[in-house]
Amino acid sequence: MVSRVTLLDAHVLDEHITKIFINQTLKVFKFLPSWILNNFESEINAILQIVLTYYSVAKMKATFGQQLLGIRFKPDQLTDTKIALFQFFMVVANYVQSKSERPSKNFINNINDLQLIVNILKTASFMNFLLFLHNGKYPTLLQRFLSLSQESTRKRNIEYTFMTRELLWHGFSELLMFSLPLINYQSVKHKINRLINSKSKHEDKKWVDKIPLMSARIVCSICHDKPVLPHHIKCSHVFCFYCISSMRMVDEQFECPECDHFEKKIIPVILN
């Protein structure tokens, strides 16, 4: 028994494959005179659909969408007569629909009660879809009319190990996506550096409580570029105001990266 989802997926794949094949083929005709496509586009589409159904249903006993999903029509039900009727009704239905949607006058639009016939077919298709959801046998009205049921061509083994692993990974990835933006990783990095440096490096007192002197060689101790709006924290090292302010916003206990001196107050450098 083929699942309803697989049958519907096969039907959707057939529609997309037909559309792609027709669109790619029609691009060949764009270099021809425009009147060819304007007057015979529906006929060209019908011929292309005949080719598709011939090389799929007639040759392989399954549409291209069914072949991709590993299903087919039951061979004992798919007789030569049903294949011919399947091709005929499918091509004629699409041909009539394309002609009826064209604003220009044609022999299809001249048929009396054409709109009534179209509405009846749409209603019948909707009722067939409801029946399909109930019994899961015929996804289209044409398949029900010809009694063409489908079967699987390969044994499907469902292993829940893969599904469980995917669900766990999906839940873990969502947790990471939610939690990582909330982590102040700069503050964590500074705390780890302080913890490591506290055992191997002590504050050098010779840099503390000294007013830094500006010169052409002085650079910011954070960005290592020429300081913009130079400031200090009561040590001899200079910082850009933006650099030291942004670091203090990230970590209130941010220390000088050169001498590990901490001073809460940020003091501007007095330029001589």
How confident is the model over 32-56, as a mean pLDDT?
82
> How far apart are alpha carbons 192 and 126 in whole angstroms?
66
Mean pLDDT (the chain, rounded)? 80
**Other Cβ atoms within 10 Å of 78 Cβ, number:** 20
Most confident of 6-15, 32-41, 185-194, 253-262: 6-15
Question: What are 221-237's pLDDT values in tens digits?
Answer: 888 888 888 888 888 88
> How far apart are alpha carbons 64 and 52 in whole angstroms?
9
Contact between 231 and 239 (Cβ < 8 Å): yes
Torsion of CA 101, 128, 47, 42, to 10 degrees: 0
> How far apart are alpha carbons 270 and 256 in whole angstroms?
19
Query: Quick one: 58 exposed, middle or buried, by C-beta within 10 A (0-12, 13-18, 19+)?
Result: middle
Which residues does residue 71 pair with via DSSP β-bridges, in sequence order? Answer: 152
- Overall pTM > 0.85: no
Rounded to whole angstroms, what are the CA distances from 56 to 1, 41, 234? 22, 23, 83
pLDDT of residue 127: 92
Least confident of 75-89, 93-107, 215-229: 93-107
Q: Is the pLDDT of residue 101 over 80?
A: no
Using only C-alpha atoms, the chain has a radius of gyration, in whole angstroms, of: 37
How confident is the model over 2-14, as a mean pLDDT?
86
Q: What would the DSSP string read from start to end of 129-168?
A: HHHHHHH-S-SSHHHHHHT--EEESS-----HHHHHHHHH
Give the residue with greater pLDDT, 156 vs 77.
Answer: 77
